[in-house]
Copies of this chain bind each other. A is one copy, B any other.
Amino acid sequence: MARGSEGSGKIPVDCQSCPARVDGLCEGPGVFEVVAQFKSGDRVIEAGRDLFSIGEPCEAIYNVVEGWLFLYNLLEDGRRQILYFALPGAVLGFHPGRGAIATYGAQALTDAIVCVVPRESLDPLSRQHPEVGMRLVWLISRGLSLAYDHLTSIGRHPARQRVAHLLLELYIRYRMQWPGSRIEEMHLPLTQEHIGDATGLTGVHVSRVLRDLRKDGIVDFRYRRLRILDPDKLIDVAGTDPQMLASWTRRAPSEEPGAG
């Protein structure tokens, strides 16, 4: 609640108007003004639509301003693997290679707004403002750490732990956007199918796992609302290394002049 990020709420229509947001490409001291010169505009995507699809050439990178999106892969048989849930501040669309083709898609979970920076602008942008280049490096490598973390979860943990891990991560990443808030309840715009696709499980099994987690008084996810009933138990079940947990909440280093 608190900040009008619920699906229906009135969404601000430019990067600038999110004072509480600390993270992302457009944020930080002086960076917004810089990126504003190079972005080609903002784009609104309605819930359920693709920002970009698998197989498309990717001509821009995107900075999420408002709303939730997810990156996904499709299998031949139609099944899906969700790779990443993007919250405001995330940078998407950096596919390796000039004139490259997207090997994964990005779909909006809620109505969303992204700031669009054309690929051609990246070279001049980074040339004129090297600190933005390093910020990009930082953001992408945070995404990489997160991906490695999921890899470990999916590769080696049983279902209960995977689901707990995902919910904990999303809760923390969400809460981190609004520093100081301590709410233990949030709007989480996912179906159980999404959770299954992200954790490598079926929706049916996710249903059973969520029932058990609720019964055990750990988390209650229903009607797109996530309620953390027992944070300590949740951290315990998720089996999350506290170090990793800390790294989720770590901010981009604000750039100092000279070498800090």
A interface residues with partner B (beta carbon < 8 Å): 54-55, 71, 73, 75-76, 79, 81, 83-84, 94-98, 100-101, 103-104, 120-124, 126-127, 130-131, 133-134, 136-138, 140-145, 147-152, 154-157, 199-200, 239, 241, 243-244, 246-247, 250-253, 255-256, 259-260
Q: Judging by beta carbons under 8 Å apart, are B151 and A259 in contact?
A: no
Q: Judging by beta carbons under 8 Å apart, are A95 and B55 in contact?
A: no
Q: Judging by beta carbons under 8 Å apart, are A131 and B127 in contact?
A: yes
User: What's the least CB distance linking A7 to chain B, in Å?
Assistant: 27
Q: Judging by beta carbons under 8 Å apart, are A145 and B250 in contact?
A: no
Q: Judging by beta carbons under 8 Å apart, are A141 and B96 in contact?
A: yes
A103 and B241 contact, Cβ closer than 8 Å, known pairs A83-B151, A134-B133, A137-B133: yes
Taking CB atoms, residues of chain B closer than 8 Å to A155 are 81, 154, 199-200
User: What's the least CB distance linking A62 to chain B, in Å?
Assistant: 13
**8 more CB-based (< 8 A) A-B contacts, given A120-B259, A126-B134, A144-B147:** A54-B243, A71-B148, A75-B156, A75-B239, A94-B144, A124-B259, A140-B144, A147-B147
Q: Judging by beta carbons under 8 Å apart, are B79 and A244 in contact?
A: no
A sample of 19 cross-chain residue pairs with beta-carbon separation below 8 angstroms, ordered by A number, consists of: A54-B243, A75-B156, A75-B157, A76-B239, A83-B148, A83-B152, A94-B144, A96-B142, A97-B253, A98-B260, A103-B241, A103-B243, A103-B247, A123-B260, A126-B131, A147-B148, A147-B151, A155-B199, A155-B200
Taking CB atoms, residues of chain B closer than 8 Å to A101 are 243, 246-247
Q: Judging by beta carbons under 8 Å apart, are B96 and A138 in contact?
A: yes
Taking CB atoms, residues of chain B closer than 8 Å to A71 are 148
Taking CB atoms, residues of chain B closer than 8 Å to A199 are 155
Taking CB atoms, residues of chain B closer than 8 Å to A253 are 97-98
Taking CB atoms, residues of chain B closer than 8 Å to A94 are 137, 141, 144
Taking CB atoms, residues of chain B closer than 8 Å to A137 are 94, 126, 133, 136-137, 140
User: What's the least CB distance linking A163 to chain B, in Å?
Assistant: 13
Taking CB atoms, residues of chain B closer than 8 Å to A156 are 75, 79, 81, 200
Taking CB atoms, residues of chain B closer than 8 Å to A133 are 126, 130, 133-134, 136-137
Taking CB atoms, residues of chain B closer than 8 Å to A141 are 94-96, 140
- Bound-state CA distance A120–B259 (Å) is 6
- Bound-state CA distance A135–B73 (Å) is 26
- Bound-state CA distance A75–B138 (Å) is 26
User: What's the least CB distance linking A87 to chain B, in Å?
Assistant: 16
